Amino acid sequence: MLLLYFTSSHFQAATSDSATLVLEGQSMARGQVLLHGWKLTYASFWTSNALLDAIAISLVGLRSGLMYAGPAVVAAVAVAGGVLLAREGRRGASAVAGGTAVAALLVFATPSFAFFFVARGFHVATIAYALLAFFALRRGSFGWGWVAAVLLLAFGMLGDLMMVAYGVIPLFGAGLVAMVSARRRRTGLAESTAAVAGAAVAGLGRLAFDAIGTFGADRSVSLARTGQRITNLEHVPAYVSSLLGLTSAIVSSRGVPARIGSMDDLGWAHVFAAVLVLACLLLALVSLIAGIVGGRHEDGGQVIWRLDNVLVIGVFCSAVPFVYLAGSRGAGARYLLASAAFAIVLAGRMIARAAARLPMGWSARAAAAAGTVLALSLATGFGLAMSGPENRSPVTMLTTFLKAHGLRQGVAAYWGANLVTVASNGAVTVRAVTASNGHVRRLEYLSSASWYGDQRFQFCLCGGSGGLGPRAAIRQWGRPKHVYAVGQYRVFVWGHLLTLSGSPEAS
């Protein structure tokens, strides 16, 4: 977890998206457990990242470090789930080999993988829930494991509908494959019914919470056009290979920062590891197809092929959101993170299996030495990539200025508002607004209604990435009394308090 926090804080400064999750947690810590009054998306992370932030804020208060600590903790849980799956059914050296392989490839990951794993750690909690659900159903039978898997799937879906692609469909599909392979309907029934039950519990839970009063979900989804879907499908192999380290397809201005992407001086280790992971995926896919065609007996290796099939299907199902949701020039490559993570866990399982079959003697010692060299090389490459200074937040100077001048309540466009609020540890509160039809109004998206109401504000932030234009601010409130230039921002201050269009005072 500490290594992942180190990665998170060094890769790229947090954004308002990261801050929004922390502010969701703050609302939950203050009693709005169901986030009533919020307007979020299908990926609210209400039951994952936001819940974790709520617990942390209840203990230590609002802290800017939560934007980095939260993704690190969630990623650590995902690593733990992967290690459990890799070690399943193994003891001794083989268990160590499989678990170490997963931990090394996930923690000492390629720059592109690490960027989406912790620096932009969205949907990683969903991956963690899915891996833990797979582990709970490792026996392929009904019982407490089945109940735990259903709850994990439902809990994940309530916070992120990506769970459908990451967990629900892979389990359902693996159940059907098990039935066909074993030529028995009862085989695979636990997996398929757990998937259906998890989705049903999530749906019923959502209806119940809506009746009580929870956040509003923006159900509109921007799908890629047909031509873009075809392009996305063609990019899947190259992008997954890039996440694993075989290519550099997504190292760009819209992907991994060039400063970090170019610092992996031991790239050969990632190339070797990527080839190994892809080879294991191919073998597992061939095994799945052979099982469907030739059949499998339930006894003798039942657990092995069940979990392998779930992960193989998960690799391909997790690529579907990328095909349908990703934009041009690599935008949306984060959707493929689950495919790469599942492939790594699958490779860890096969490495553990191979280690168990090695005869004691020089061959086992040579394999252990080779694995140690590879793991150390990955760790060294990680150290070199992280040797530079931390990427400072673009609002550090701004928050210092605002606190020094007693400016505590303000408005700004989304990309500055939530980030400034969290970066200042809550000392400065900036609410997101948008300009439309000549008026500055509350931004309903990714915000809470309780933030606005009859609130009055002291200043307005203009400029910055995606910032509010000065013309809109002047049209709304007139010429400012003072204008301060702080970095890329302009702080507009009037001789009166500000109200938003549509608020009681403005009317």
Is the same domain home to 374 and 411? no
Q: Across all residues in the chain, what is the average pLDDT?
A: 84
Domain end point (choices 334, 365, 385): 385
Q: Mind listing the pLDDT tens digit for each residue in 52-87?
A: 999 999 999 999 889 988 999 999 999 999 999 999
User: Predicted confidence band at 168 (pLDDT cuts at 50, 70, 90)?
Assistant: very high
In DSSP terms, 433 is beta-bridged to 442
For 189, the domain range is 2-385
Tell me: pLDDT of 504 over 50.
no
Strand extents, DSSP E, 443-499 = 447-448, 457-463, 482-486, 489-498
Residue 263: the pLDDT is 40
Is the same domain home to 296 and 413? no
Stated pTM of the model:
0.89
Q: Are 413 and 434 in contact (CB under 8 A)?
A: yes
Q: What is the DSSP letter of 166?
A: I
Tell me: pLDDT of 201 over 50.
yes
Is the same domain home to 315 and 171? yes
Q: Mind listing the pLDDT tens digit for each residue in 463-495?
A: 776 667 888 888 888 899 999 998 888 999 998
Is the same domain home to 407 and 302? no
Tell me: pLDDT of 455 over 70.
yes
- Coil/strand/helix, residue 494: strand
Residue 507: the pLDDT is 30
Is the same domain home to 368 and 474? no
- Domain membership of residue 486 (yes or no) is yes
- Domain membership of residue 379 (yes or no) is yes
CA distances from 492 to 246, 442, 496, 503 (A): 49, 18, 12, 20
Burial profile 51-78: b = 16 or more Cβ within 10 angstroms, e = fewer: bbbbebbeeeebbbbbbbbbbbbbbbbb
Distance from first CA to last CA of the chain, Å, rounded? 51
Domain end point (choices 331, 365, 385): 385
What is the percentage of the chain residues whose pLDDT exceeds 90? 36
Q: Which residues contact 208 (CB under 8 A, 6 or more apart)?
A: none
In order, the DSSP letters of 314-351 are: HHHHTTHHHHHH--STTTTGGGGHHHHHHHHHHHHHHH
Residue 78: the pLDDT is 95
What is the percentage of the chain residues whose pLDDT exceeds 70? 88
Is the same domain home to 373 and 404? no
Nearest to 424 by CA among 136, 22, 6: 22
Number of domains in the chain: 2
Q: Mind listing the pLDDT tens digit for each residue in 313-338?
A: 999 999 999 998 887 766 788 889 99
- Domain membership of residue 403 (yes or no) is yes
**Which ranges constitute the DSSP H helices of 213-261?**
226-244, 258-261
